[in-house]
Amino acid sequence: MAEAHRLTESASAVFAVLAGAGSATRPQLASLAGLSKPTVSSAVAELESARLAAHSGTASSGTGRNAAVYRLGPAAGAVLAVDLGPAHTRVRGCALDGTLLAEATGSRAEAADAVRQALAALPAGAPLRTIVVAVGDVTARDREGTGIRPATAKAGPVFDAMAVSLPPGVPLHLENNVNCAALAELHEGAARGRDTFGYLRIGVGIGLGVVIGGQVLRGANGAAGEVARLPYPWDAGREPRREALEEHVGARSLLRRVAEAWQDADGPCPGTTERLFALAGEGSATACAVVGRHAADVGRLAAAVAAVLDPGLIVLGGSTGADPQILPGVRAELARLSWPTEVVSSTLGDLGTVVGAARLAVARGVQTVTETAGAKD
């Protein structure tokens, strides 16, 4: 990792604004940063000297004069986002202004190869500022270095195999994959324009991303939204079991219910949730009945979310949760059990997690540059 250039406070502020804008003139930077034009001119010169900003052309100022346009320079560097999904690994490399520089996809077992492929596609010599890895379990508190790993064993072996391909000395951060997807829905997906909502992921597992006031709620232990830990079942004569709700609502149990309900007259029994939903879309009565029951289960979970958070909006994601066929049933069950709450399907699909992880990586990457500000102006 390249040694960070120590910036003045004004240069640090201008760099952050330029990263967010992508490109801007000095008057625009002055307005966005709330700094005087002379201060911005000095800051831009400092950033150009450090190769953190570069001239990228001119633009009409509206007064008959052309103004110089600036963008991030080659020393600004890049970040890496990795989604260690249950079936696939998705990797994105981005510049600090969010521009996509590289991406790769592989199976879960090919995580290391996907990371190496993305790293090789990044601009030569660009410093790697930070790495964000999205995992499907509660994670330990972040710390710098290569010794960090998921807090539970779910992602441990895959993470360890992938970690050997990461460059040493680059800050590494773990984030819950549902939180990443919620962040993506907030900025680029179905929740744009809404600063409070719940992102409910239903797939192999279940999880909830909680966004309040435009911020993802992580909780005291980083475990906010772990709805798999809700007590279930909860009635006379039956003791709740740990993560029994996830076992009931998750894709594996859904396929078991398919096998139990399927009749010889229905044809070959679907072995995947994708095939189940395809048959339901074709009008199979048995498939429709199983999907309807699944929708009601998700609707009951959504009612629990609404009762605790009153989010106003719930975005459904995940391999089964995002399928539009369950949306009417979820809405109906939620309306039966709770107060009016809007429910919509995710618009980002499987890409949501890596999109959110990349956004988080960019924010952390900018921070690694700007937090080195030390000298007063």
Give me the CATH number covering residue 175: 3.30.420.40
- % pLDDT > 90, the chain: 75
Structural domain boundaries enclosing 31: 9-75
* 20 in any annotated domain: yes
The predicted model gives 83-96 an average pLDDT of 92
Please write the tens of the pLDDT for every residue from 151-185.
444 556 778 878 888 888 899 998 999 999 999 99
Please write the tens of the pLDDT for every residue from 187-202.
999 999 999 999 999 9
Task: Specify whether 208 is located in the same domain as 249.
Answer: yes
pLDDT at 238 over 90: no
What confidence score (pLDDT) does residue 221 get? Answer: 81
Task: Specify whether 201 is located in the same domain as 326.
Answer: yes
The predicted model gives 55-81 an average pLDDT of 85
Dihedral Cα 182, 183, 184, 187, nearest 10 deg: 120
Please, which residues have CB within 8 angstroms of residue 271's CB and are 6 or more apart in sequence?
Answer: 255
Of 24, 52, 75, the residue that ends a domain is 75
pLDDT band at 148 (very low <50, low <70, confident <90, very high): very low
pTM: 0.88
pLDDT at 213 over 90: yes
What's the CA gap between 44 and 24, in Å, rounded? 11
Give the chain's mean pLDDT: 90
Looking at residue 371, what DSSP letter applies? T
pLDDT band at 364 (very low <50, low <70, confident <90, very high): very high
Task: Specify whether 234 is located in the same domain as 342.
Answer: yes
The predicted model gives 252-272 an average pLDDT of 95
What confidence score (pLDDT) does residue 251 get? Answer: 94
What confidence score (pLDDT) does residue 256 get? Answer: 95
Which amino acid belongs to residue 248? H
Higher pLDDT, 19 or 67: 19
Task: Specify whether 100 is located in the same domain as 221.
Answer: no
Structure tokens belonging to residue 121: 């596609």
Please write the tens of the pLDDT for every residue from 128-138.
999 999 988 65
The predicted model gives 234-249 an average pLDDT of 89
pLDDT band at 222 (very low <50, low <70, confident <90, very high): confident
* 375 in any annotated domain: no
H-assigned helices in 167-263: 177-188, 244-249, 251-261
Task: Specify whether 242 is located in the same domain as 199.
Answer: yes
What confidence score (pLDDT) does residue 153 get? Answer: 43
* 166 in any annotated domain: yes
Task: Specify whether 133 is located in the same domain as 45.
Answer: no
Task: Specify whether 138 is located in the same domain as 244.
Answer: no
Task: Specify whether 86 is located in the same domain as 218.
Answer: no
- Tally the domains of the chain: 3
Please write the tens of the pLDDT for every residue from 98-108.
999 999 999 98
Task: Specify whether 208 is located in the same domain as 341.
Answer: yes
The predicted model gives 359-376 an average pLDDT of 84
pLDDT at 14 over 80: yes
Please write the tens of the pLDDT for every residue from 320-334.
999 999 999 999 999
How many C-alpha atoms does 143 have within 13 Å on its Cβ side?
9
What confidence score (pLDDT) does residue 305 get? Answer: 97
Please, which residues have CB within 8 angstroms of residue 345's CB and are 6 or more apart in sequence?
Answer: 190, 315, 316, 317, 322, 323, 324, 327
